[in-house]
């Protein structure tokens, strides 16, 4: 009879993957925490996520092994956590392991006292000594022995580490700006140029991106470079931003057959990813590609947006209009098996087109990575066609036909499992991506997807009739109070959706959620926001997240939201708080812009000032969409067909009967209206920089 543990009652796909382990896993719960206290046992917390390759490896090697499970069950209270369900716990215990070992990652295995204080931990441990790491059994015996024989030492170490985490989190109190200053005094233009120089010192000017392998997309930095180019016309900034997007698009991190991006590359050339596909990465890359397309009008960026969103629609959209979290890296127990090819497979499927396809996509007999082929292109299509004297239009048609054949064949393979829980924060990022994609492509389906997804989010994640939200939803059941990122990314998505629809109810909702964030998350002494809402009882530290990780800093996005909504609703206090937050971090942002990309972009917009744009009158939608198609990182736009005095930016804007009017304003003071789209765009392009 198959063993089943308490994880069988959970909804998380990651926890359900472990429900038949012989380890007596508990979910993070009052029952498990109380049991540790009652039995005075150390807690082993093991954190991972469903699409994590090394999490699967450690499960197969250790957690499915009866002898190993017996040691774990005898000496520890064992708790499994899905980091995507409980990012608050993951952040705390990841910080602890990084403080202890100097590095982190998943699976994250950390040992706690019954009072939840961490005292030892690490990431992946092999079943026998390897990779200069102790075996998992050695670790288990060592920790159990130390807890039994050197308890005082353990408790002291745990207290010191917890104090360290709390002190590290007190950031901001000493940096608060007591006296409001003019923005130009607070943010000298020189600081922005210093950020650019600091970014370029880390830039890989051959393969794109920043730093060395493993390489992550770092879309916030790319978007800052696009913004820097917009305001300075510094070609080097545009070149590095586009090089980064181009090399990712050409590399194996991009799924050339089915669309969409994997999480990161294991090498400098973007060839070999860990093959999991995350919703947030694809959302953030669509945003960056949309802005690059606005500036350059390079068709490849538009194509990549379309292919990526085709993948999202096909494989990650739920029937009720939510988006799933991720696709696994592994299938049939092998990482990347679903996405890689032998040359023989390609030849059998493509026949007379195979030779051309193989040359263009770097498919060879021996493979381009560990004896298999990860499709990638080593040069743009136009160069390839020029070298081979091919008609580009015919070549692209052939390539498209070949990719469709391979995709159809790939559908017959055993597919990587989806993580089908729906996270509010990541859905909100994808919602913003759809709004941006509509703005730059004009594809109406994208706007409709953003609207239907937003309707779903506002309904499925609501806590009763309050303005409080849940974090995760699966099988129509939402749970865990929403975190800062959930609210801030949703507010950002509501703002973006209003820009492409002019439905002001989205702004009203954004204002309501902003008030909720201030009520539940604000640290009044600093003006920054905690990651968790007040009243969260099962955490040892209430963290404040400042820098961008895989997703943007919730505090940075909230600073952007506060300023934008501060203008829309004439809330001066919100504008000042945004300036204060950004000013308190200016030194860190200037010095480490690759870690503070969202802050850097907001600081630059504050320095340049915002373009307040109102479009009114009959046919205003066409005018609004034309403005939205431009790259204007510092714009605020509202539109209305008739009179609307509810919002300061629209107040008193006469529609002159049937006439279309464009207003360009600053602090609600507007230049004379313009009625021709082309004339207004001309004014914008002059004023934008």
Q: Which two tokens stand for residue 301?
A: 């960026």
The secondary structure of 666-683 as a DSSP string is: ETTEEPPPB--HHHHHHH
Is the separation of the CB atoms in 687 and 613 below 8 Å? no
Domain boundaries in the chain? Answer: 6-168, 343-412, 611-687
Output the CA torsion sign for 510, 182, 671, 604: negative
Whole-angstrom CA distances from 480 to 84, 106, 322 are 11, 22, 18
What is the model's pLDDT at position 179? 47
Question: What CA–CA distance (Å, rounded) separates 657 from 301?
Answer: 40
- Which regions of the chain are under pLDDT 70? 1, 171-182, 184, 654-657, 688-689
> Residue 538's pLDDT is what?
85
Q: How many CA atoms, within 13 angstroms, populate the side-chain half-sphere of residue 142?
A: 10
What is the biggest distance separating any 2 CA atoms in the chain, rounded to whole angstroms?
85
Q: Is the peptide bond before 63 cis (omega within 30 degrees of 0)?
A: no
Predicted local confidence at residue 558, as pLDDT? 98
Write down the pLDDT at residue 1: 63
Which of 231, 296, 225, 196 shows the shortest CA–CA distance to 605? 231
Which are the contacts of 238, defined by CB distance < 8 A and separation ≥ 6?
225, 226, 229, 295, 296
Selection from 615, 662, 663 nearest residue 641 by Cα? 615
Backbone angles phi, psi at 478, to 5 degrees: -100, 145
Nearest C-alpha neighbor of 600 from the set 543, 565, 562, 560: 560
Q: For tokens 């870690």, name the residue.
A: 595
Q: For residues 303 and 317, is the Cβ–Cβ distance under 8 A?
A: no
Please say whether the beta carbons of 331 and 56 come within 8 A. no
How far apart, in whole angstroms, are the C-alpha atoms of residue 385 and residue 364? 20
pLDDT at position 173 = 47
**DSSP 8-state symbol, 213:** S
Q: Which two tokens stand for residue 197?
A: 């120089």
CA pair distance 414, 80, nearest whole angstrom: 27
Q: How far is CA 151 from CA 33, 41, 113, 357, in A?
A: 19, 11, 10, 64
Instruction: Provide the 8-state DSSP code for 363.
Output: -
DSSP assignment, residue 62? I
* Per-residue pLDDT reduced to its tens digit, 172-190: 544 555 545 667 677 889 9
Q: CB neighbours of 256 closer than 8 A, spacing ≥ 6?
A: 361, 375, 376, 377, 403
Judge whether 45 and 115 are in contact, CB under 8 Å: no
Half-sphere exposure of residue 180: CA atoms within 13 angstroms, side-chain side: 8
Query: DSSP secondary structure string, 366-427?
Result: S-SBTTBB----SS-HHHHHHHTT--HHHHHHHHHHHHHHHHHHHTTSPPPPEE--EEHHHH
Element (H, E) at 470: strand 470-474
Q: What is the DSSP letter of 42?
A: P
Judge whether 602 and 220 are in contact, CB under 8 Å. no
* Burial of residue 453, with CB atoms counted within 10 A of its CB: 0-12 exposed, 13-18 middle, 19 or more buried: buried
Tell which residue, 283, 295, 303, 154, has the closest CA to residue 225: 295
Whole-number Å distance between alpha carbons of 438 and 638: 17
Six-digit token string for 102 = 């100097």
Is residue 328 within 8 A of residue 417, CB to CB? The reply is yes
C-alpha 80/C-alpha 84 separation (Å) is 12
User: Token pair of 141, please?
Assistant: 């015996």
Give the pLDDT confidence of 542-570 residue by residue, as tens digits.
999 999 999 999 999 999 999 999 999 99
Express each pLDDT in 330-343 by its tens digit. 999 899 999 999 99
SS3 annotation, 64-91: CCHHHHHHHHHHCEEEEEECCCCHHHHH
Residues 6 or more apart in contact with residue 160 via CB below 8 angstroms: none
The domain 6-168: what is its CATH number? 3.40.30.10
CA separation (Å) from 353 to 8, 344, 381?
49, 13, 16
> SS3 string of 585-643?
CHHHHHHCCCCCHHHHHHHHHHHHCCEEEEEECCCHHHHHHHHHCCCCCCEEEEEECCC
* 652 Rama sector, left if φ>0, alpha if ψ -120 to 50, beta otherwise: left
Best CA proximity match to 426, nearest among 312, 319, 331:
312
Q: What is the pTM of this model?
A: 0.96
Quick check: 146 and 137 in contact, CB under 8 A? Answer: no
Q: How far is CA 329 from CA 212, 216, 261, 270, in A?
A: 22, 16, 12, 16
């Amino acid at each position: 009879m198959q063993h089943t543990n308490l994880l069988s009652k959970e909804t998380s796909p990651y926890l359900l993957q472990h429900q038949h382990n012989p380890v007596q896993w508990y979910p993070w719960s009052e029952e498990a925490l109380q049991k540790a206290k009652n039995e005075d046992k150390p807690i082993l917390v093991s954190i991972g996520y469903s699409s994590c390759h090394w999490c699967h490896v450690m499960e197969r090697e250790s957690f499915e092994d009866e002898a190993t499970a017996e040691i774990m069950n005898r000496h520890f209270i064992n708790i499994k956590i899905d980091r995507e369900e409980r990012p608050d716990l993951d952040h705390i215990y990841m910080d602890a392991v990084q403080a202890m070992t100097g590095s982190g990652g998943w699976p994250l295995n950390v040992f706690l006292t019954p009072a939840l204080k961490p005292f030892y931990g690490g990431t992946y441990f092999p079943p026998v000594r390897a990779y200069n790491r102790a075996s998992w059994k050695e670790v288990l015996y060592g920790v159990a022995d130390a807890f039994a024989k050197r308890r005082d030492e353990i408790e002291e170490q745990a207290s010191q580490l917890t104090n360290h985490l709390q002190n590290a989190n007190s950031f901001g109190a000493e940096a608060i700006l007591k006296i409001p200053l003019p923005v130009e005094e607070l943010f000298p233009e020189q600081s922005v140029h210093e950020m650019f120089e600091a970014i370029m010192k880390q830039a890989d000017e051959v393969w794109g991106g920043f730093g060395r392998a493993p390489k992550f997309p770092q879309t916030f930095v790319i978007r800052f470079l696009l913004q820097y180019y917009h305001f300075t016309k510094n070609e080097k900034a545009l070149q590095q931003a586009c090089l980064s997007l181009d090399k990712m698009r050409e590399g194996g991190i991009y799924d050339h057959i089915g669309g969409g991006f994997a999480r990161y590359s294991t090498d400098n050339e973007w060839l070999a990813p860990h093959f999991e596909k995350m919703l947030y990465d694809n959302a953030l890359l669509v945003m960056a590609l949309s802005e690059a397309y606005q500036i350059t009008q390079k068709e490849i960026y538009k194509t990549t947006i379309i292919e990526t969103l085709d993948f999202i629609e096909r494989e990650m959209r739920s029937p009720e209009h939510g988006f799933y979290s991720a696709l696994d890296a592994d299938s049939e127990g092998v990482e990347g098996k679903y996405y890689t090819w032998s040359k023989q497979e390609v030849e059998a499927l493509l026949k007379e087109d195979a030779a051309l396809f193989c040359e263009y996509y770097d498919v060879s007999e021996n493979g381009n990575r560990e004896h298999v082929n990860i499709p990638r292109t080593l040069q743009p299509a136009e160069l390839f066609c020029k070298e081979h004297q091919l008609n580009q239009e015919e070549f692209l048609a052939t390539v498209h036909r070949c990719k469709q054949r391979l995709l159809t064949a790939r559908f017959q393979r055993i597919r990587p499992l989806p993580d089908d829980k729906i996270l509010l924060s990541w859905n909100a990022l994808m919602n913003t991506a759809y709004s941006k994609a509509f703005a730059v492509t004009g594809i109406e389906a994208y706007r409709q997807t953003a609207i239907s997804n937003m309707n779903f989010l506002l309904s499925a994640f609501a806590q009763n009739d309050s303005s409080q939200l849940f974090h995760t939803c699966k099988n129509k059941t939402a749970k865990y109070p929403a975190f800062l990122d959930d609210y801030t990314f949703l507010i950002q998505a509501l703002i973006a959706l209003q820009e492409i629809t002019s439905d002001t109810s989205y702004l009203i909702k954004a204002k309501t959620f902003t008030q909720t964030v201030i009520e539940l998350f604000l640290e009044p002494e600093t003006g920054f926001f905690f990651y968790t809402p007040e009243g969260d009882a099962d955490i040892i530290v209430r963290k404040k997240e400042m820098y961008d990780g895989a997703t943007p800093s919730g505090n940075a996005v909230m600073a952007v939201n506060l300023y934008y909504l501060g203008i829309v609703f004439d809330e001066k206090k919100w504008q000042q708080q945004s300036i204060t937050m950004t000013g308190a971090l200016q030194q860190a942002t200037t010095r480490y812009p690759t870690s503070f990309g969202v802050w850097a972009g907001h600081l630059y917009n504050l320095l340049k000032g915002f373009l307040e744009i109102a479009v009114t009158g009959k046919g205003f939608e066409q005018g609004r969409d034309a403005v939205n198609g431009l790259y204007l990182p510092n714009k605020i736009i509202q539109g209305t067909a008739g009179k609307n005095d509810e919002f300061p930016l629209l107040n008193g804007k006469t529609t002159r009967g049937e006439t279309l009017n464009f207003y360009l304003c600053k602090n609600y003071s507007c230049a004379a209206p313009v009625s021709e789209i082309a004339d207004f765009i001309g004014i914008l392009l002059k004023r934008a920089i």
